Amino acid sequence: MTDLLLLPGDGIGPEVTAQVRRVAEALTPDLQIEERLFGGISFDTHGLPLTEDTLAAAKASRAVLMGAVGGPQWASAPRDKRPEAGLLNLRSGMEVFANLRPALCFQPLADASSLKRELVEGLDLMIVRELTGGVYFGQPRFIEDLPGGGRRAVDTQVYTTAEIERVARVAFELARGRRNKVHSAEKSNVMETGLLWREVVTDLHRRDYADVELEHILADNAAMQIVKNPKQFDVMVTDNLFGDILSDAAAQLTGSLGMLPSAALGLAGKPGLYEPIHGSAPDIAGQNLANPLAAILSFEMALRWSLDNAAAADHLLASVIKALDGGARTRDLGGQLTTVQMGDAVLAAL
């Protein structure tokens, strides 16, 4: 059985996952690693961004680590064959409904944030984004021509009790191991899905998690509070679209999108999907400039959540911090190191 399936993908994906491979080979030499094409490169080679074979391999592995997908060269590919469609199919095919997106401010990087040091120093916020439902997957969705000219586009936001409850459960469980506080963000003031979201979370809280502090917050206010006073948050649970947006905002608090990993988890015992939250960064792809730490830290999450090796995860996290403490900085962090040199720095710290 493959332990770790690597899907380097497009843009900077292959460069950053190459560093994960080096780290994995040094830290956990017994790990069985396999690699497959995914995203635009898979479309170019196989005509599909995610082949059935690759999805089957993903489901049969213990953890999947993806680099990044997409780029301008696939902008005119048919919509259902774009690299991003491959990613959505991978998430739903693996049924990884809970996306953990930590925004952690690493001490040595507190000055790299666009917010003042005192607002972000020590920040440790976990966004739990619902990942396999909502407007990303709701039907119907289409663009149609209108008789009198012009067109009409429809997306559908849809959530069921079960979908809300299972992701909220993940958030409450996580909070218990942290600072015991959950914010649930939605737009119950204008959306039916928001109203149901609030009711289901309230009900679950009363039934099973009354010991955890729960606060409901409207998603627009959550965006403002994240940039105003981010340290008030511990765990924030929200839907797929709000989670996409709020997690980018939270990421910037930490100084660079190049630092942040994520874990997408499904039911217990099923493989998790690990991805840096940065994109494929076509502007710097192939130049050995990308920061590999988000990918390396995604591997750290994989060790912890899917590969049953918290000791190796702790060691890796400490090594990344040590490398940063020693001044290792790629360009996004205001430094000069290349992708490979940042990999070297982590390996040296290991």
155 counts as binding ligand IPM under rule CB under 6 A: no
Residue 173 near which of ligand IPM, Mg ion, none (CB within 5-8 Å, type-dependent): none
21 three-class SS: helix
Residue 95 near which of ligand IPM, Mg ion, none (CB within 5-8 Å, type-dependent): none
Size of the site for ligand IPM (CB under 6 A): 4
84 counts as binding ligand IPM under rule CB under 6 A: yes
Cα gap 86→94, rounded to integer Å: 12
CB distance 294 to 261 below 8 Å = yes
128 counts as binding ligand IPM under rule CB under 6 A: no
We find the least distance from the C-beta atom of residue 37 to ligand IPM, in angstroms, to be: 17
- What is the number of the residue whose Cβ is closest to ligand IPM? 84
∠ CA 52-54-55 to the nearest 5 degrees? 65
Which of 130, 163, 234, 244: binder of ligand IPM (CB under 6 A)?
244
| Residue 114 in tokens | 């666009």
CB distance 15 to 75 below 8 Å = no
129: left (phi over 0), alpha (psi -120 to 50) or beta: beta
Count of CB atoms situated within 10 Å of the CB of 257? 17
Beta strand residue intervals within the chain, DSSP E: 4-9, 33-35, 63-68, 98-104, 124-130, 142-145, 151-154, 181-186, 213-218, 235-238, 263-265, 272-274
Residue 84 near which of Mg ion, ligand IPM, none (CB within 5-8 Å, type-dependent): ligand IPM
- 187 a catalytic residue: yes
CB distance 6 to 63 below 8 Å = no
- 228 a catalytic residue: no
Residue of 211, 220, 283, 308 marked catalytic: 220
| Residue 37 in tokens | 């094409």
Residue numbers 250-279 binding ligand IPM by CB under 6 A: 277
Residue numbers 232-251 binding Mg ion by CB under 5 A: 244
Residue numbers 305-334 binding Mg ion by CB under 5 A: none
| Closest CB to ligand IPM among residues 87, 285 | 87
Residues near ligand IPM (CB under 6 A) are: 84, 87, 244, 277
Active-site residue list: 136, 187, 220, 244, 248
